[in-house]
């Protein structure tokens, strides 16, 4: 299936589907007249007497050097090759494909001055499965994601490396095998390719979508834990949350009420329970999860705008002027990535405290120590809880802001940068950690609910427990839980845990 994208109006749901399902993409042909007009204006400027940055001049600190019209193609090719300096592991293919689609969307706005052939080649690569090998390190988030995007550009001119049908090969060979021809770059086209925030934005979007899924799954695991420790649902009362008015909090409480509706475990201790209040990790679940949902929603708004933005330089304005600006500075993406990181860390932090609650017999309302039926001989979930603590602490460190860092580069021409690239890239590691924390909580809560038999949990939570039990049997005698934790984390990351509980959980 090919997704049609309209420059300036692509929605995040469509882009998430493209990312998750590796869709091909086409740019709405209604965008072509504006693209052609801007390309014509750049071609005119390339042969003119006036200096136009990146069209007939050098780049960065070398912008004062004039370039002859006969050297235009060499200038743009050299720019791509000289900037392809990325290091580190290769970015995963779905996120590279998203980055490519975002670049096509940006070029399709008709302000970058490139020929339509450049957009068509990106479309052809997506359709054929030609995925450039893009090292994840090397961008400081201004002047655009220069190094990562140069590795995309290198393949488009027949250089660099790419994968095709799972095989890694030279970029030119990949294009040839797919029946595609490399481009000879025209004026400004190399600069338009590498100037922009598409690497940072693609990584931030991937981090956002994974975090949103994990946050929804955390409402399932939180509800399971609440039943496992026989906690009160009074803190979920709608009026409490309406009185505060925070939308995420209201949605989280509503989701938990719906998930727990019909629980025999809950009904069994409404009367005669000597406990007055539960610990904060139980009582304040909607406040914490809801705040995280709101943060993620705010980040989504920023990234939805950025996904449709023109972020290269210079830009061809509506009156034909070619003007240098600074849209390549990825500060909005850096801020959004920092918000996502905070949400991930806090969802994991409160989940880890719930795990700690379940394994502690002084707090778990008569569950056996470490959730094992034979404590002493068996250690049960003792070290699974320690693992969750290690992951939680790692995420706390990773959540420190990246956007407040900056360092001058390029002979002090680029003297303030956003650090959006690694700010966004760290989200993948944080989300992996969070999925494992929530996976451990799911396993522990299912074990705890098992100890409450013959009392049953709610119908929706019972279906979640069944999904957990399909990948991890109850823990009797000790065994290695590493495979169980990995399988439970997969339930979180795939959305299967949320789906098993009935879906429709607060977005």
Known catalytic residues are 53
Handedness of CA 187, 188, 191, 192 (dihedral sign): negative
Spacing of C-alpha 446 from chain mean position? 29
Residue found by looking up tokens 């957009």 in the block: 119
**Within 10 Å of residue 60's Cβ, how many Cβ atoms?**
14
Buried-state track 215-239, b at ≥16 Cβ within 10 A, e below 16: bbbbbbbbbbbbbbbbbbbebbeee
* CA neighbor of 330 nearest in space, from 422, 410, 429: 422
What's the angle, vertex CA 507, arms to CA 213 and CA 387, rounded to 5?
35
Spacing of C-alpha 149 from chain mean position? 18
Name all contacts of 175-181 with Cβ < 8 Å and 24+ positions apart.
Answer: 175/125, 175/130, 178/124, 178/125, 178/128, 178/129, 178/130, 179/128, 180/121, 180/124, 180/125, 180/128, 180/130
Cα 485 to Cα 438: distance, rounded to the nearest angstrom: 9
What's the angle, vertex CA 355, arms to CA 287 and CA 392, rounded to 5?
75
Query: Cα–Cα distances in Å, from 396 out to 272, 343, 346?
Result: 39, 10, 8
Residue 386: helix, strand or coil by DSSP? helix
Phi, psi dihedrals of residue 345, rounded to the nearest 5°? -60, -40
Cα 489 to Cα 217: distance, rounded to the nearest angstrom: 10
């Amino acid at each position: 299936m090919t997704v049609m994208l309209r420059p300036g109006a692509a929605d995040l749901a469509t882009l998430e589907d493209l990312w998750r399902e590796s869709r091909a993409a086409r740019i709405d042909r209604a965008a072509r007249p504006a693209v052609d007009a801007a390309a014509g204006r750049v071609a005119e400027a390339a042969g003119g007497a006036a200096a136009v940055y990146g069209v007939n001049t050098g780049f960065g600190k070398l912008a004062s050097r004039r370039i002859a019209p006969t050297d235009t193609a060499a200038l743009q090719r050299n720019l791509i090759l000289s900037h392809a300096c990325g290091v580190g592991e290769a970015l995963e293919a779905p996120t590279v494909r998203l980055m490519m689609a975002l670049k096509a969307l940006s070029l399709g706005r008709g302000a970058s001055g490139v020929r339509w052939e450049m957009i068509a080649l990106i479309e052809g690569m997506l359709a054929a499965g030609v995925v450039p090998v893009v090292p994840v390190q090397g961008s400081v988030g201004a002047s655009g994601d220069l190094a990562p995007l140069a590795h995309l550009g290198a393949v488009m001119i027949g250089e660099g490396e790419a994968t095709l049908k799972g095989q890694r090969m030279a970029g030119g060979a990949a294009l040839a095998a797919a029946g595609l021809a490399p481009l000879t770059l025209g004026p400004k086209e190399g600069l338009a390719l590498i100037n922009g925030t598409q690497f940072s934005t693609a990584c931030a979007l991937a981090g956002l979508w994974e975090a949103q899924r994990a946050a929804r799954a955390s409402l399932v695991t939180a509800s399971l834990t609440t039943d496992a420790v026989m906690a009160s649902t009074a803190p979920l009362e709608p009026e409490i949350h309406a009185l505060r008015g925070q939308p995420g909090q209201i949605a989280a409480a509503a989701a938990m009420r719906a998930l727990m509706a019909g629980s025999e475990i809950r009904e069994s201790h409404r009367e005669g329970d000597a406990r007055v209040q539960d610990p904060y990790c139980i009582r304040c679940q909607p406040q914490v999860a809801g705040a995280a949902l709101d943060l993620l929603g705010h980040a989504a708004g920023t990234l939805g705008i950025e996904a449709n933005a023109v972020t290269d330089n210079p830009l061809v304005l509506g009156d034909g002027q070619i003007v240098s600006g600074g849209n390549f500075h990825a500060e909005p993406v850096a801020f959004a990535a920092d918000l996502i990181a905070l949400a991930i860390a806090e969802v994991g932090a409160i989940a880890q405290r719930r795990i700690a609650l379940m394994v502690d017999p002084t707090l778990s309302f008569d569950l056996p120590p470490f959730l094992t039926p034979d404590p002493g001989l068996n250690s049960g979930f003792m070290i699974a809880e320690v693992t969750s603590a290690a992951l939680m602490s790692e995420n706390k460190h990773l959540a420190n802001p990246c956007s407040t860092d900056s360092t001058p580069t390029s002979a002090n021409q680029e003297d303030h940068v956003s650090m959006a690239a690694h700010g966004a890239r760290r989200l993948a590691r944080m989300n992996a950690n969070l999925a494992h924390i929530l996976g451990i909580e799911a396993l522990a809560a299912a074990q705890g609910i098992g100890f409450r038999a013959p009392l049953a949990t709610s119908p929706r939570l019972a279906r979640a427990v069944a999904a957990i039990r399909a990948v991890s049997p109850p823990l009797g005698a000790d065994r290695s839980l590493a495979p169980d934790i990995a399988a439970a984390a997969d339930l979180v990351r795939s959305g299967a845990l949320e789906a098993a509980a009935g879906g429709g959980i607060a977005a």
